Amino acid sequence: MPTATWKGKVLAKSDDTVVVEGNHYFPADSLDISLFEDSATKSVCPWKGTASYKTVVVDGERNVDAAWYYPDPKGAAAQIT
């Protein structure tokens, strides 16, 4: 089962990920949201749309903008909402 970890903590785990360009996109309900904090960072992909970022925080250590998601992806990438 695909699992995302950092510093020994499980960030997300699901057998229902979508792989795009080598990246696993986990369903929102598979994340341990207590390990993420919002970021103001945004980026734009021409075919996926605008990405929003999260910073991972484990035991006080921060991995800034380590996770991203597309809250409103373009049609070709609708499967990663």
DSSP for residue 32: -
User: Exposure of 2 by Cβ count < 10 A (0-12 exposed, 13-18 middle, 19+ buried)?
Assistant: middle
User: Exposure of 56 by Cβ count < 10 A (0-12 exposed, 13-18 middle, 19+ buried)?
Assistant: buried
**3-state class of 53 per DSSP?**
strand
Q: Cα–Cα distance between 71 and 52 in angstroms, integer?
A: 7
The whole-number pLDDT of residue 66 equals 98
User: Exposure of 11 by Cβ count < 10 A (0-12 exposed, 13-18 middle, 19+ buried)?
Assistant: buried
* Chain segment 20-60, per-residue pLDDT in tens: 999 999 999 999 999 999 999 999 999 999 999 999 999 99
